[in-house]
Each structure stands twice: as C-alpha cells, then as structure tokens.
Amino acid sequence: MDPETLRRDFDRRLEEMGIRVKDADQLKVRGDVFDEVTLLALYKLAHKKIFSEIGGVVATGKEGNVFYGERDGKGVAIKIYMMRTANFKAMTEYLDGDPRFRNVRRTRKEIIFAWTRKEFSNLKRARSAGLRVPEPYAFDRNILLMEFLGEEGVPYPQIRLVEMEDPAAVYAEVVDAMDRLYKEAKLVHGDLSEFNILFSEGHAYLIDMGQAVTRDHPRALPFLLRDIRNVNRFFSQHCETIGDEVLLRRIAGERFEGP
Ligand SMILES: Nc1ncnc2c1ncn2[C@@H]1O[C@H](COP(=O)(O)OP(=O)(O)OP(=O)(O)O)[C@@H](O)[C@H]1O
Ligand SMILES: [Mg+2]
C-alpha cells in the first residue's frame, strides 16, 4: 500500500475505534514519520486505548517527533522515534555496554525499538526513585506514550527560556535529581542540559531519557561528568554552583576513578 492510502486507511480505522484525529492535515504532512511500522504501532496503542485522541506536532527533533494526544481528557505525549532518519549509530554506543540490552540484534529496526523500550524503562526507574519525569504509560515498536508535561497541548518551557525566581532552589532540585538517579535508579541521564529540563511553577522536570545508561555502563562516569558540567555551566549564570569534581564525587562516591 502506498503511504497515502495507508494513512487514509489508518485514519478510518482510528475513527472506527472512536479515536479522534485532530489536525489530520498536519499529521499527513509528516509523511516521513508515519511510515508503515509507525502506523502499525500507533494503531496497536490506540487499540489498547492508551490514547483516544491524537493532535498536532509538539516538537520535532533529530531522532524523533513528539505529538500531543489525549486520554480521558488528560494530556499524553506521543514520542515517535523516526525509523528513517534516526541517528542510530550514536544509539548503538549507548546500547553497547548496557546489560539490559545485551541481546539486541544490530539491525536498524531492532536498535530503534530497543531505544524506545530503553526510554520507557529509564523513565520507570527514574519515577520509582522519586524524580520529576513524565510517567511512562506504554510503548510499542518506535512509539512511547507518556504523561504530557504541560497545559492545553503546550509543553512546559525548557529551563533555558524561563526566568527562575529562586534559581538556587531549582539547582538544588536538579542536583538532587542527578544524585537519586545515580544512587537509587542506578542510572546516568547522559544528555542532561538546559534543553532537556522543563520548568513549571518552580520545579524542574527531566525529560528525554532514551540515552540514559546503567551505572555499570563503561562510559557511565564520563557521561555523568558531562551532565554535571552542563548543569553547572547553565546554573552558574544564575546562582552559586558546586564544583564539577566535588559534585561528581558526591554523587558517584567511591566509584569515582577520575574523569
Ligand atoms: N512528556 C512530555 N510532555 C510535554 N512535552 C514533551 C514531553 N516530552 C517531550 N516534550 C517536548 O518535546 C521536545 C523534545 O523532546 P525530547 O527532548 O524528549 O526529544 P528529542 O527528539 O530527543 O529531542 P532532541 O533530539 O532535540 O533532544 C521537548 O523539548 C518538549 O518540548
Ligand atoms: Mg531533547
């Protein structure tokens, strides 16, 4: 089936299930996202009633696109990793060395599916450790559904774009998040910066956890140091910060073997 027919068929099937497709034209424009694999995954998730409405694009990134959806009137973020343009060489580096993904076959498809599963699992672990991250709801193939952090389809702004009333308190919250992530969830975010922290009502929310690795990943410490440097570089423009190495020792403790 050609993509256009597929999409039409898909829209029809969704509608039959009572799923409203909002901004359908906008969805169709993004033909590169809605390939056959993606449509199938979306269809399966819709069938499980994980979401009941799919709306417009919230963000387009290097690896994926985020759409706004709804379920029982509540916002759902629908993150779709692109099958075609995904930067899967970089993905491999993060997957190698993570014991959870030792048996992943090295085809493009398998890697992207594993990546999606990884982000789901990372978010679960982070939430169990008490972090402010979106609650993951479900995943299928290259699609992850999670709590939408925002209001009326508009995500909370990235922290780089807001004016913080009490930056020192927010910094303390982010430091605490990195610490809990390492000690309790036993993970390192790996791409933490002012681009992957959303801000609302005085609180910092960590997002984008696909690349997060377990502590025993051979590159966990360099990734942690990079996260610390990014966070410190950003917050040092707003408040006092703890030295990079001091913070690394505080978080990683005796595991620290030098940068
Ligand atoms: N759970 C969510 N709730 C609300 N908005 C979200 C959520 N997840 C992602 N977004 C929005 O989508 C944007 C991109 O998300 P994310 O960083 O996870 O994707 P990405 O494809 O890895 O992006 P990039 O490659 O640019 O880092 C975020 O900046 C935010 O605006
Ligand atoms: Mg991001």
| pLDDT confidence of residue 22 | 66
On whether both 25 and 147 belong to a single domain, the answer is yes
Per the model's pLDDT, the better-predicted residue between 258 and 14 turns out to be 14
Is 5 among the domain residues?
no
The reported pTM is 0.90
Handedness of CA 183, 184, 187, 190 (dihedral sign): negative
Residue 187 lies in a domain: yes
Backbone angles phi, psi at 256, to 5 degrees: -65, 125
Both 202 and 133 in one domain: the answer is no
Considering the domain architecture, whether residues 116 and 232 belong to the same structural domain is answered as no
pLDDT beyond 80 at 16? no
Atom of ligand 1 nearest to the CA of 196: 17
Least confident range from 32-36, 100-104, 106-110: namely 32-36
pLDDT at 128 over 60: yes
CATH of the domain at 71: 3.30.200.20
Query: Do 24 and 123 lie in a common domain?
Result: yes
Cα distances (Å, whole numbers) of residue 104 to 41, 189, 214, 216: 19, 21, 16, 18
Claim to verify: residue 106 and residue 162 sit in the same structural domain: no
Q: Is the model's pLDDT at 73 over the cut of 90?
A: no
Question: Is 107 part of any domain?
Answer: yes
Q: What is the mean pLDDT of residues 71-81?
A: 92
Domain-located, residue 8 = no
Residues 129 and 166 in one domain: no
Phi, psi of 137 (to 5 degrees): -100, -50
Does any domain span residue 57? yes
Largest CA distance in the chain: 59
- Which range among 71-80, 142-151, 179-188 shows the weakest confidence by mean pLDDT? 71-80
pLDDT at 94: 87
CA–chain centroid gap for 29, Å, is 23
Range of the domain at 200: 156-255
Domain end call among 97, 119, 154: 154
Residue 29, pLDDT score: 42
HEC string of 81-102 equals: ECCCCCCHHHHHHHHCCCHHHC
Compute the average pLDDT of residues 36-44: 82
- With cut-offs at 50, 70 and 90, classify the pLDDT of residue 88: confident
Residue 19's pLDDT band (boundaries 50, 70, 90)?
Answer: low
The domain that holds 218 is classified in CATH as 1.10.510.10
> In the structure encoding, which two tokens stand for residue 4, read together?
């256009």
Residue 255 confidence (pLDDT) above 80:
no
Q: Whose CA is nearest to atom 9 of ligand 1?
A: 66
Q: Are residues 105 and 191 in the same domain?
A: no
Residues 238 and 150 in one domain: no
pLDDT at residue 162 tops 60: yes
Q: Are 72 and 52 in contact (CB under 8 A)?
A: yes
CA Rg value for the chain: 19
Q: Is the pLDDT of residue 93 over 90?
A: no
Residues annotated as catalytic (active site), given as ranges: 191, 208
Question: Considering 154, 176, 200, which residue would you say is the last residue of a domain?
Answer: 154
Residue 190 has, within 13 A of its CA and on its CB side, a CA count of 23
CA distance linking residue 86 with residue 112, whole number of Å: 8
DSSP symbols for 208-235: --TT-EETTSTTHHHHHHHHHHHHHHHH
* Residue 220 and residue 108 in one domain: no
Assess whether pLDDT exceeds 80 at residue 64: yes
Same domain, 146 and 174: no
Same domain for 142 and 237, yes or no, is no
Structure tokens at 58: 């919230």
**Does residue 143 belong to any structural domain of this protein?**
yes
227 and 122 fall within a common domain: no
pLDDT at 57 over 60: yes
From 76, 78, 79, the mutation candidate for ligand 1 (largest count of ligand atoms within 8 A of CB) is 79
Q: Could you give the CA distance from residue 137 to residue 51 in angstroms, rounded to a whole number?
A: 10
Whole-number percent of the chain with pLDDT over 70: 86
Q: Is residue 10 part of a domain?
A: no
Residue nearest to atom 27 of ligand 1 (CA): 61
Number of domains in the chain: 2
Ligand 1 contact via 75 beta carbon (within 6 Å)? no
Residue 238: pLDDT over 50? yes
Among 115, 130, 154, identify where a domain stops. Answer: 154
Residue 14 predicted with pLDDT over 80 = no
